[in-house]
Structure 1
Amino acid sequence: MRSLNLHLKVLITLLVVAGVLITGYQIFILGIPVTEDETEDLWNIDAKVEFQASPREPVKLQMFVPPLVQDYVSLHESFISNNYGVNVNRVDGNRIVTWSARRANGNQTLYYRLALTKRYSGEQPNPKGPIFRDSQIVEGAEKIAAEALLAPIRQHSADVETFISEAIKRVNNTNDDNVRLLLGGDASAENKARVVDLLLSIAHVPLERVHTIRLTSDQAQTPELWLRSFNGQNWLYFSPHTGQQGLPADRLIWWFGDSPLISLEGGRKAQVTFTLNNNEINAIRLAQRADETTDASLLEYSLYGLPLQTQQTYQIMIMIPLGVLVILILRNLGGLQTLGTFTPVLIALAFRETQLGFGIALFTVITAMGLMLRSYLEHLKLQMLPRLSVVLTFVVVLIAVISLLSHKLGLERGLSVALFPMVILTMTIERLSITWEERGGTHAFKVAIGTLIAATLAHLLMSIEELTYFVFTFPAVLLVLVGFMLAMGRYRGYRLTELFRFKAFLKD
């Protein structure tokens, strides 16, 4: 007996631990939303390319598009054009789209569209970079000015990060004569980045330009320049204006390097206009889209992988164990008497279609009339099978009559009575009549009321939309439910009704 108890405890522990671990993995590792109304940000970016094509010349336009390996997951990417060939290639860590056409005349418009989200991005690989480079050749006054700037930079820095930050700050001090000489009267961000690059090259520190788009609700956007360098372990990002280290979370990297955003052959006056908008999307729909468009297997082995019609069926079926749990608690702990364990649950399922109040009324009417017919058939001394057949036929006819009368009276809810399980109603009538014969009408009435109470409570629990979503999305919680049912299976204590029943003995 002791080994059996140990076996049961181990089994319960394994089921509960497995259910908790699987559910926790889905929530905390895969990031599947806990509630159905949870939303996430979805960014839509449009890059509109406009230019004038040269007559009788082939057109070839190339534009950088974002690398897909970063902190954002691309859900949809499209290249919109009319009579253009489209190719996407990877060059030096960048992605370049090429639109080409044999002939094009007049004003041309091309579109690049991207939808992305930060959720489900996961941990991205950290590519390596150079840690040393050769110096740029600089002579004359520029050399003297550069060396004059590098001396205090070396003095006020301790590592690569502080060296680059200090260099950027010095270059942005336009009151310094050495800085003004190196800038040559051009104080643009691009030119300042060129001077910073010059100073760092003399110190053999690699530097790379990074062009980003800021994810903001502002409609119009222009690429924003950042700088980055590899310190041997990580890439360090810097603002060319302030020397601030660290790329903000709302920046999307568009391309790396010194090359312009677009290059055009066979046309002129090319320009790119960025438009951004932000939408909130249901988090579970977002997970489904991430499954479809990326390699993420968030819901691959979940019930969301089933056809939609099958999903709707399983959303009802998967709640049956919770209804059974309600009946189990009411019977084993509360002492409520019902017509078995599963009959109240099946009646509760029927209430989903008829609604609770109307369903209870229809169930009461059909059961009462069926009991009267069953009592009449008992006087005819029929065998069980013919008797059940007559009762079943009567139930079908009664359901049809109620549906017809409801339709004539404009009570369309009455039509849903046809969805009641006719066999369940027939067996309920039969079992109630047997109980009436064996233990009297009072006990049969108590059992019928208990069955309705249990079915009502089970229906109320099974109809909670948030709970239905949670169990359907995280079905491993049913393992925890099974563990609880196994634990209740060894309960031998008093039921709640027995405490009232034996109250006098307890006092003695």
Structure 2
Amino acid sequence: MKLRSRYPFYIAIFVLIAGGIGLATARHVQLGIPWLAGEQQPVWMVEARIDFEAVGEEVLVSLNVPDSPPGFRVLSQQAASPGYGFSLIEESGDLRAEWSIREAEGPQTLYFNVQLTPDESSHVPPPSEAPDPEAVFWEEPEATAVAEILERAAAKSASPESMTRELIKLMQSSDPDQNIALLLNSDNYVTLLHRMLNHAGIPARVADGLQLEDARRLQPLRAFLQIHNGERWLTFHPETGQQGLPDNVLLWRQDAVSLLDVMGGEDSQVSFSMLQQTVPALQLATREGGQNGLGLVSLYELPIEEQGMFRMLLLLPLGALVVAFMRIIIGVRTSGTFMPVLIAVAFVQTSLVPGLVAFLSVVTVGLLLRGYLSSLNLLLVSRISALIILVIAITTGISIIGYQMGFNTGMTVTFFPMVILAWTIERMSILWEEDGAREVLVQGSGSLFVAVLAYLLMDAPLARHLTFNFPELHLVTFGLVLLMGQYTGYKLSELKRFRPVKEFS
């Protein structure tokens, strides 16, 4: 019955830990916040340059731009077009950039910039209904040649994908027959494949891809073949027949009828330049975090001043975990329950060595002055109040002396919790009177030891990163502290009492 009564407690611990890990994982997946501090994410900056000759009348330029390209996530889109009006227009799932001006004449240059980052989870959602193949008309003798080639490809295929691969193999044969030679001489190769597949009843289209290479300029688009297998669009290399996109290929145009339309101009052309940068992954995640889901409850939505406060506040549970482990499991005696946590927070502000020097100096001087106050037989409240005033005076003096000696870190002594220091001095003084100097040394050194361990954990870059960016992980910390609260066994420091038993046996 006793064990059974603890089942709800252990179930609650499991829910806390699983919930914390689950929420943190969801934040990582949904917002892209990295698990490790300092992770870098590549960002591609692609610039489309449009050149044309204006003929002295109103100009309207429309360029198809990527919206949700597979394998990439669009971060930003902007245009550089002095004197032109600009807007992004979406029509039937086709995103286009449009420039307009009342009148223009002579050479014109327009720029469109897009920033993208690789994202394997990004994909084009499938259409609600499978598209119908386009109607294609052939004249003789092309019609006979197409029918024969498609019949040969269909004999070796059993699906739209295999049909596409077999057709590409036939068209890329090193020894083409008369039918293939006739078709290749009469039409653009990728357009020819696109028309032949539609004629065979397989919905197909031509997509334009851009090979991303760092610091390349004036690059053209490359044509890729896409077919619909009844469920989704698949991309094929039109020369090798390989399914899927090659590495670092951005599909700039997929379902748009045209890439570039220019009204009021002639001799238009578009070229692309690109540059790769590496930016912190956390910077990308926080920039987009407020747009959806868990980003709405992110600490990055708070003002900067409050963010700084929470960065320190969220480290306290780690210190509490260290204190609970060291006292309950290890058995280290400290002066006060969670005073080492506050000392560790002060160490985070001051850095370890200056903090240790300041703490030892303040406590040592305070104990000496506490001995004098004890001889005055003051009441407890008056004695503590006097100690607070003395601690403030001592820390002020240490700060001034440190500054005059050129140690600027001495100024950070003021971050120490004054009331806690005053109470620590009072507690150690009473302990000295009741149990002697040895007990003061044991508990004082234990407090400093645990405080140093808590500081090392709290000051770790990974701990700072996880506690602030994944605050739900504190549910795990909470569960572990509760779990340790049920421990009633021997502390590790007490096992030395059984050494004589081991030696006797």
- TM-score for both structures, normalised by structure 2: 0.91
Moved over 6 A (4+): 505-508
1:379 maps to 2:375: yes
C-alpha contact (below 8 Å) 2:44/2:274 kept by paired residues: yes
Aligned-residue offset at 1:274: 0.5
Other-structure match for 2:135: 134
Cα distance, 1:454–1:259 mapped onto 2, change above 3 Å: closer
Q: Cα RMSD between the aligned structures?
A: 2.5
C-alpha contact (below 8 Å) 1:67/1:95 kept by paired residues: yes
Aligned-residue offset at 1:296: 4.1
CA distance in 2, matches of 1:197, 1:348: 69
Aligned-residue offset at 1:91: 3.8
Work out which of the residue numbers 222, 235, 238 in structure 1 matches 2:220.
Answer: 222
Other-structure match for 1:393: 389
CA distance in 1, matches of 2:328, 2:191: 80
Aligned-residue offset at 1:367: 0.9
Paired amino acid for 1:155: A
- Secondary structure of 2:494's counterpart equals helix
CA distance in 2, matches of 1:203, 1:226: 19
Superposed CA offset, 1:334-365 (max 9, x none) = 22221112111101111112221221122111
1:240 maps to 2:238: yes
Cα distance, 1:170–1:320 mapped onto 2, change above 3 Å: same
1:422 maps to 2:418: yes
CA distance in 1, matches of 2:35, 2:376: 59
CA distance in 2, matches of 1:148, 1:431: 99
- Secondary structure of 2:240's counterpart equals coil
Other-structure match for 1:19: 20
CA distance in 1, matches of 2:241, 2:333: 76
Other-structure match for 1:254: 252
Other-structure match for 1:94: 94
Q: Which runs of 5+ in 1 are unaligned?
A: none
Bigger drift between 92-101 and 142-151 goes to: 142-151
Correspondence 1:83-482 to 2 at 5 A: 83-119=83-119, 121-122=121-122, 124-127=124-127, 128-139=129-140, 141-173=141-173, 175-184=176-185, 191-217=188-214, 219-220=216-217, 221-256=219-254, 259-292=257-290, 295-297=291-293, 299-482=295-478
C-alpha contact (below 8 Å) 1:339/1:448 kept by paired residues: yes
- TM-score for both structures, normalised by structure 1: 0.90
C-alpha contact (below 8 Å) 1:330/1:336 kept by paired residues: yes
Paired amino acid for 1:184: N
Cα distance, 1:334–1:448 mapped onto 2, change above 3 Å: same
Aligned length: 500
Superposed CA offset, 1:290-344 (max 9, x none) = 335xx54353323333333322222222121221222222222222221112111
Cα distance, 1:134–1:265 mapped onto 2, change above 3 Å: closer
- Secondary structure of 2:50's counterpart equals strand
Aligned-residue offset at 1:122: 4.5
C-alpha contact (below 8 Å) 1:136/1:201 kept by paired residues: no
Aligned-residue offset at 1:69: 5.9
Superposed CA offset, 1:223-270 (max 9, x none) = 111122222222232222233333335322222468552222222332
CA distance in 1, matches of 2:14, 2:88: 53
- Secondary structure of 1:299's counterpart equals helix
Other-structure match for 1:64: 64
CA distance in 1, matches of 2:336, 2:394: 25
C-alpha contact (below 8 Å) 2:208/2:221 kept by paired residues: yes
Aligned-residue offset at 1:99: 0.6
C-alpha contact (below 8 Å) 1:59/1:104 kept by paired residues: yes
C-alpha contact (below 8 Å) 1:64/1:97 kept by paired residues: yes
Paired amino acid for 1:51: F
Aligned-residue offset at 1:169: 3.0
CA distance in 2, matches of 1:273, 1:382: 87
Aligned-residue offset at 1:77: 0.6
CA distance in 2, matches of 1:123, 1:261: 21
- Secondary structure of 2:79's counterpart equals strand
Cα distance, 1:202–1:430 mapped onto 2, change above 3 Å: closer
C-alpha contact (below 8 Å) 1:135/1:204 kept by paired residues: no
C-alpha contact (below 8 Å) 1:30/1:120 kept by paired residues: no
Aligned-residue offset at 1:288: 1.5
